[in-house]
Chain A
Amino acid sequence: VRPSARTLAAVALVAASFALRAPGVTRVTAFTGDEGVHVPAARSYATGHFTQSTWWNPPLGYVLLGASMAALGDGPLGWRARNLALGSLTPLLLLLGLALFPGRPRIAWIAAWLLALDPLHVLLSRSTFEEIQGIFFFLAAAWLAALAARGRATLLPAGGALGCALASKHYFGGAALALVVFVLLAHRREGGPETAWTSVLVSLVLVPAAVYFAAYLPWFARGYGLREFVELHLDLLRVARSMTIDSFANRELLSLVERAPGWFTRPTVICAGLGAEGGWGRFFFLGKNPAAWLLVLPAIAVLAALGLRRRDPGALLVAALFAVIYLPLLSVGRPIFVYSASVLLPFGFLAVGHGADLALARWRAAGAAALAAVFLVGAYVWPLAVGLQVPVGLYAPACGAQGVGAPPAG
């Protein structure tokens, strides 16, 4: 049987996502980003010792990081392989979000390629941040739940994936609730045993809670009990509220990193020269594809408005997922840095894809030109995200104008 063109295109997407993330991933042999925190935490879990300074995060990220280190060694490859693999597969999961927009495949394709090329998602996929793992599992859960809403027996694995997302980072509580509502509404429309309320309760509430709980078994093995489990979560809520920028060891750098209100309204990036020779240089780039990111909020507004008018459950789910993840990040007391924006990008980019689909249908040439411009900006900043040598002259304007560090004289 010959694979279909769509299958080949999906394989190409995964291959391209990997190729966009892998170059030089082990070049830096010391800790980068938060690896200096995450790797010791993974070692601690592996040895049954204490959870270190990341105790407020759920453990699954460190458990999987430890598994990666056990398989590939306690070195750059073992540290980064988990995110490299999951980050390369995430655009594919977004593509599978086609199930949410039946008959309009262009939306998911645009979103998937935007994510594949996004400099923040690329950067985090080359490190140990838990966001990559969390959003991977959540998209898997959303895809499986969307299939269940169309009658497939996929709700239980959806619950498993949802539990893995919850056990990776505390972003997805409200989003889990949105999935539950989505599936229950589908049951009201379509019926079927898979989406009956008992099935939803077990699969999308009980099972995720159990997976989350199971991730803490090493913690229980340290002597803690069920009551202390509740206390731990009250403590982490309290600490999250009381944290300030001074609570972080690398506060000087973090004070420059963009906070939640500015992620989708300002084109700010951090770009610092790492050295140059003969007109070519390397940069540290913590940034975004500004053309795509600045479209996110208007696109979400359009998606939500049209979703409401047309009673389109897929559109409403995407807008709701974006809102229920973003609003708590805007309102929580502690500073939330731009890394967290990576869990919003899939939904933001689906909305941009939806907007692009509308534009292409109405103004074909202009819409195509605008979309091409968005991808071109992404392609322009991508080499910075993977630390490739680039012509300093070509990138000095962008980095010099918006970065914190001027590129070195080349």
Chain B
Amino acid sequence: VQPAAAGRGGRRAALLRQAIAIACVFALLAFARLASDRGRVGSADPAVVRVGGGPEAVEVWRQAQVRGRTLVHLSRRIAMRAEPDQIDPGPIHEDNYLYAALRENLIRRVYHVIPDDEWADVERNLRDFPGAARVRTGFRLEMEGAPVLVLRAGDLPRVKERVLVNVDLDRWSGEELGTVIDRLALAGRSGAPPADLVTWWGSSPGASGPGEVLSAAVR
């Protein structure tokens, strides 16, 4: 028996179905792009905020109502102790605040920048960690699917979007911070500031000195 769809009419119907399917695919791609753009929400008021520690930085991000952001995290520690499969990951503390921020979708991607003098230690730890992949600039890990790139300040890539910056200032000299901010600024498009919200903590007094360096990121 010859197919019912055979003949010129069948060919035309098949072509029409294909055209509709292709149009739907393009619409879907456009929709995904739109959803992605709308999923990244920046802070309405760019600022450099001194906080008492990592968990307070999360509170600052929440209050600024940011969403789906890339975080440049300048610290030795990653603060990602996980509570998988729990809707409520429990109280936020120094060991898990970045994990909580990922879970809440405040951030979606992390560049974990390690001070140069501590890199050898980190490299040794990650070399033997099965979940870490060596990449050109450092190591690539994932936290429940969210990418975490561990690298040195000099290897920070061009991040083509405004970022959140979170700094444990006691680990960084003003000069090293300047390098990071310069690299972020290089990636900024059309002179726009590379970051919209910088949170930092540490024993350095006041906003002059390191704070002044950091404020360059949002200017």
Tell me the A residues contacting B by CB distance below 8 Å: 36-37, 40-41, 43-44, 47-53, 55-56, 150-153, 156, 159, 190-194, 196, 198-199, 202-203, 206-207, 209-210, 213-214, 216-217, 220-226, 228, 231-232, 235-236, 238-239, 242, 244
Q: Is the C-beta of B33 less than 8 angstroms from some C-beta in chain A?
A: yes
Chain A contact surface mostly: helix
| Contact B147 A235, beta carbon cutoff 8 Å | yes
Q: Is the C-beta of B207 less than 8 angstroms from some C-beta in chain A?
A: no
| Contact A217 B67, beta carbon cutoff 8 Å | no
Q: Which residues of A contact B4 (CB under 8 A)?
A: 151-153
| Contact B84 A52, beta carbon cutoff 8 Å | yes
Query: In the complex, what's the smallest C-beta–C-beta distance from B101 to chain A, in angstroms?
Result: 10
| Contact B142 A194, beta carbon cutoff 8 Å | no
Chain B contact surface mostly: mixed
| Contact B67 A40, beta carbon cutoff 8 Å | no
Per the bound structure, the CA–CA distance linking A193 and B17 in Å amounts to 11
Q: Is the C-beta of B112 less than 8 angstroms from some C-beta in chain A?
A: no
| Contact B21 A207, beta carbon cutoff 8 Å | yes
Task: Enumerate 20 A-B pairs (CB-CB under 8 Å) in ascending A order.
Answer: A36-B85, A40-B85, A41-B85, A53-B84, A56-B145, A153-B10, A153-B17, A192-B2, A193-B14, A198-B18, A206-B21, A206-B22, A209-B25, A213-B32, A217-B32, A221-B35, A221-B38, A223-B68, A238-B133, A239-B131
Per the bound structure, the CA–CA distance linking A155 and B22 in Å amounts to 14
Tell me the B residues contacting A by CB distance below 8 Å: 1-6, 10-11, 13-15, 17-18, 21-22, 24-25, 28-29, 31-33, 35-36, 38-40, 67-69, 84-87, 102-105, 108-109, 130-131, 133, 140, 142, 144-147
Nearest opposing residue in chain A for B132, CB measure: A242
| Contact A196 B14, beta carbon cutoff 8 Å | yes
Q: A213-B28, A220-B39, A223-B40 are in contact. Are A156 and B85 (CB under 8 A)?
A: no
Per the bound structure, the CA–CA distance linking A306 and B4 in Å amounts to 31
Per the bound structure, the CA–CA distance linking A226 and B35 in Å amounts to 11
Per the bound structure, the CA–CA distance linking A207 and B26 in Å amounts to 11
Q: Which residues of B contact A156 (CB under 8 A)?
A: 17, 21
Per the bound structure, the CA–CA distance linking A208 and B87 in Å amounts to 31
Q: Which residues of A contact B40 (CB under 8 A)?
A: 223
| Residue in B5, B6, B29, B140 with the greatest tally of chain A CB atoms within 10 Å | B5
Q: Which residues of B contact A53 (CB under 8 A)?
A: 84-85, 144
Neighbour of A220 across the interface among B3, B21, B35, B133, CB < 8 A: B35
Q: Which residues of B contact A152 (CB under 8 A)?
A: 3-5
| Contact B105 A222, beta carbon cutoff 8 Å | yes
| Contact A228 B144, beta carbon cutoff 8 Å | no
Per the bound structure, the CA–CA distance linking A209 and B21 in Å amounts to 11
Nearest opposing residue in chain B for A246, CB measure: B130
